[in-house]
Amino acid sequence: MLPIQRSKGDAMNEHQDVALSVKNLKTFFYTNKRCNKAVNGVSFDIKKGKTLCIVGESGCGKSVTASTIMQLLPTLSRIEEGEITYHSEHGDIRIDQLERNGEKMRSIRGSEIAMIFQDPMTALNPVYTIGFQISESLKYHTDLSRSQYRTRAIELLRDMGISLPESRVDDYPHSYSGGMRQRAMIAMAMSCSPKILIADEPTTALDVTIQAQIFELMDKLKKEHGTAIMLITHDMGVVAELADEVAVMYMGNIVEAGTVDEVLRNPTHPYTRALLASIPVLGKGKNQNVEAIPGSTPDPYDRPKGCQFADRCAYRIAACDVMPDETQIGSTHRVMCWRHEEVGANAAE
């Protein structure tokens, strides 16, 4: 099994620790008069000082979920149903009911919930210096004066491990390396000490050693500032390293979710098992069976009518032509599969 050294989830006192909760969220896209149910009823909590990893293959709706929370959806899409509640220090805020680019939403973005993106190359504006782009956040969310922006930006860059921040602060993004740009992005995101940091595949565009450094930095921020992190990835190895909790997404649904122990040690959904079987495990040698998941994800406009995974599932039975219910199999562990008991039993072998 995977090398996991983590304490069991402290399930008791979790309620007051929730920073943001999502309930039965549905986000649909309307293009060419067709409807793509990109996020089709997901529920999860992001907890203070914890990392929630969202995993799944390309196109399963991870980014759309993140954009929905930030209300950064493109115009052709909308929240169809569901609740997004941000538990702020001054009471709960229903993000789904806020106007998209309205004042209230803008005051949350960047200051309460911040986001970093997959490709730091394109996520930073090429015509402004890093310092300017950090100071923009400070200008709108803090009481700092103009003259203090620079000092604060330098401080942030130094905290994020950028050397010579005093001169680097005046550089343009193109003179930064990929890893440094992502550090600068994180500096920007952390500039107003947000309660929640959403990271959408923050290291996919970077090479492996840099990847490890960025994750280390994020883990440090989580521990030092108690930031709640929602980390989107399609890499189960990253999940094993960083996650406190995991949600596995497939075609707009969370098919399995729970603490990292529960999901990785005791996967009860065939898709989770397939994902786990598809990653090589360090230290297990060359002869391990690494299996690619057979088949491919269905066309979002032509979905199976029952379980979305049915076409690729070895456990499929006739009942699977009906969408499976979400079953709670532990206080934190839930799964969407008719045969989760058999799958779970199988995994325990």
Partner 1 sequence: MLAYVIRRILILIPMALVISFLVYLGLELTPGDAVSHMISPEMMASISAERLDALRESLGLEQPFFVRYWIWLQGMLQGNFGYSTAGGVSIHTILSDRLPATLELSAVALLFSTIFGCVLGVISALKRGSTTDNVLTVTGMLGVSVPEFFFGLVAILIFALKLQWLPVGGRLLPGYDSYWDHVPHVIMPALVLSIMMTAGVMRYARSSMLDALSKEYIKTARSKGLPEWRVNLLHGFRVALTPVIVLIGFRLPVLIGGSVIIEQVYQWPGVGSEFISAVRSQDYPLVMMIALLSVMAVLTASLLVDILTALIDPRVRLDK
Q: At closest approach, how far in Å is the CB of 98 from ligand ATP?
A: 20
Residues 6 or more apart whose CB falls under 8 angstroms from that of 109 comprise 70, 71, 115
Residue the block writes with tokens 């069991």: 8
337 binds ligand SF4 (CB under 6 A): yes
Residue the block writes with tokens 């088949």: 295
250 binds ligand SF4 (CB under 6 A): no
How far is it, in rounded angstroms, from Cα 32 to Cα 41?
A: 23
Q: Which does 194 bind (CB under 5 to 8 A by kind): ligand SF4, ligand ATP, partner 1, none?
A: none
Residue the block writes with tokens 């450094």: 213
Build a one-symbol-per-residue string for 45-84: x at contacts with Mg ion by CB under 5 A, - elsewhere: ------------------x---------------------
Build a one-symbol-per-residue string for 28-47: x at contacts with ligand ATP by CB under 6 A, - elsewhere: -x-x----x-x---------
Q: Which does 122 bind (CB under 5 to 8 A by kind): ligand SF4, partner 1, ligand ATP, none?
A: partner 1
Q: Which of residues 108-147 bind partner 1 (CB under 8 A)?
A: 108-111, 114-115, 117, 119, 122-127, 136-137, 140-141
Task: Determine the interface stretch with partner 1 among 105-113, 253-261, 268-276, 295-303 (rule: CB under 8 A).
Answer: 105-113
CA 156 to chain centre: 23
Q: At closest approach, how far in Å is the CB of 313 from ligand SF4?
A: 3
| CB 153 within 8 Å of CB 169 | yes
Q: How many CA atoms lie within 13 A of 107 on its CB side?
A: 7
79 binds ligand SF4 (CB under 6 A): no
Q: Which residues of 306-338 are buried (b: 16+ CB within 10 A; e: fewer)?
A: bbbbbebbebbeeebeebbebeebeebbbbbbb
| CB 184 within 8 Å of CB 157 | yes
Q: Which does 123 bind (CB under 5 to 8 A by kind): partner 1, ligand ATP, ligand SF4, none?
A: partner 1
300 binds ligand ATP (CB under 6 A): yes
How far is it, in rounded angstroms, from Cα 158 to Cα 82?
A: 40
Q: How many CA atoms lie within 13 A of 32 on its CB side?
A: 1
Q: Would you tell me which residues interact with partner 1 (CB under 8 A)?
A: 70, 72, 101, 105-111, 114-115, 117, 119, 122-127, 136-137, 140-141, 172, 174-175, 185, 188
Q: Would you tell me which residues interact with ligand SF4 (CB under 6 A)?
A: 270, 307, 309-310, 313, 315-316, 320, 324, 337-339
